[in-house]
A and B are shown apart, each in its own frame.
Chain A
């Protein structure tokens, strides 16, 4: 069964275009510099439309997760972690952790992670995170 994939909207297209190029794109308020996610054409703190897209560092820490023991059909047959990472720039995002056993012993909160992208179609690559190499 094919992976459930996102359908971009005009407000999020840049994020998915970036992901297809291997770039994690966030947005920030140009006046305050505060980054936010998910994408929208204004700063959720101030309502300002004076915002810009920028390339994030791709660094994050493991913030929280569960290990799903009843896999969704498109996710294979083994338990997998549904994780939230806290990006270096501040926002949190849901993701999967790759390159690492899907166990409580291997998945330790606050462990450093880095983004990697996996291509699922010509227009969609999903951002995953793996244990940081550096």
Chain B
């Protein structure tokens, strides 16, 4: 993809966030979409491309009255929206569509109009993982971590520190679900979920949504908000079964996706001013920092403990509070993208002064997939 040929011109989250028992899943998509259109000064008639996950792009398009020339239903978990941005950039460059809407909406907490969980017992996961007692992500996403901890001498305190520092960021964000300060002791004394993971090392479960609108860079200046350009992108998929990861101490999908995005963007790690790493659980920022190449394998725990990712640090990370403290409806990647866009627009609650390059890195499933988008506000 040509650098900076496509820009985000509309970005918004749902009007409310957290507990929204009066809005269904499709309603959350629509609320976010209408907010993003208002942000860009557009109506559904101006949109000619749609992308979403969780629901079908068919449902989305018809609900909003959009008759698109482009539809992307890529659904690989919570990072699907990073892939949607990547595919939209390519589609706009190819002329498949001019103005593409990407939406997310999920009634993760209230479960209004939401489908059920579950895997077919004849799927590979149904045959070779579910019989052994996993209960969703807290008992699956976490399974490789003891091997990572043994390999690199990572402690439960190190996991807790990730949650503590993200709560410090959340305290600056009026929309964050949890804002009260916590200590390592608080985290290590919170209820046990799946040893070594305690409740405060696990993401929230909330309702919400978000939407993005992308168009070509040459049109972007005509929109009301500061354009946020797509500088580089990456994606990969690894395994539907966490027990079959290629390496329990590293995400192969992260490495492939991140390397491609940095190669596309033509930037060095030291050029990055702001970073989002999808944190469904406290180990994700550790894996992410290492697999994206910001630090060497095993170094992320010290990098975080030394406050490099905290307020005032050299690599501000998860500045909205992250999935651990801001919100997590189930497919959090959209909120990581939204925070990157806010940082590039200069409108974030915890704004990083002078930030010019932001990386939003997502994970899908339980280390199943990955997507990376590098944004800039300079063309």
Contact = CB atoms under 8 A, between A and B. Distances in A.
Contact of A109 (B120, B146, B196): B146
B94 interface: no
B70 interface: no
Contact of A96 (B124, B133, B194): B133
Interface string A95-133: 110000000100001000000000000000010000000
Contacts of B121: 4-7
A66 B194 contact: yes
The 4 closest A-B pairs by CB, nearest first: A6-B127, A94-B243, A66-B194, A64-B147
Contacts of A9: 122, 127
Given A8-B122, A66-B196, A84-B143, A126 B131 contact: yes
A84 B122 CA distance: 20
A56 to B, nearest CB: 14
27 contacts: A4-B130, A5-B121, A6-B126, A6-B130, A7-B120, A8-B127, A12-B124, A12-B127, A64-B144, A64-B145, A64-B147, A66-B142, A68-B134, A68-B135, A68-B194, A70-B193, A70-B194, A72-B133, A72-B135, A75-B133, A79-B195, A82-B132, A82-B194, A83-B132, A84-B243, A94-B143, A94-B243
B303 interface: no
A71 interface: yes
A67 B142 CA distance: 10
Nearest to B151: A109
A7 B126 CA distance: 8
B126 A82 contact: no
Given A12-B127, A64-B147, A66-B142, A38 B244 contact: yes
Given A3-B131, A4-B131, A70-B135, 13 more contacts: A6-B126, A6-B131, A9-B127, A37-B128, A37-B244, A38-B244, A64-B144, A68-B135, A69-B192, A72-B133, A80-B133, A83-B143, A109-B146
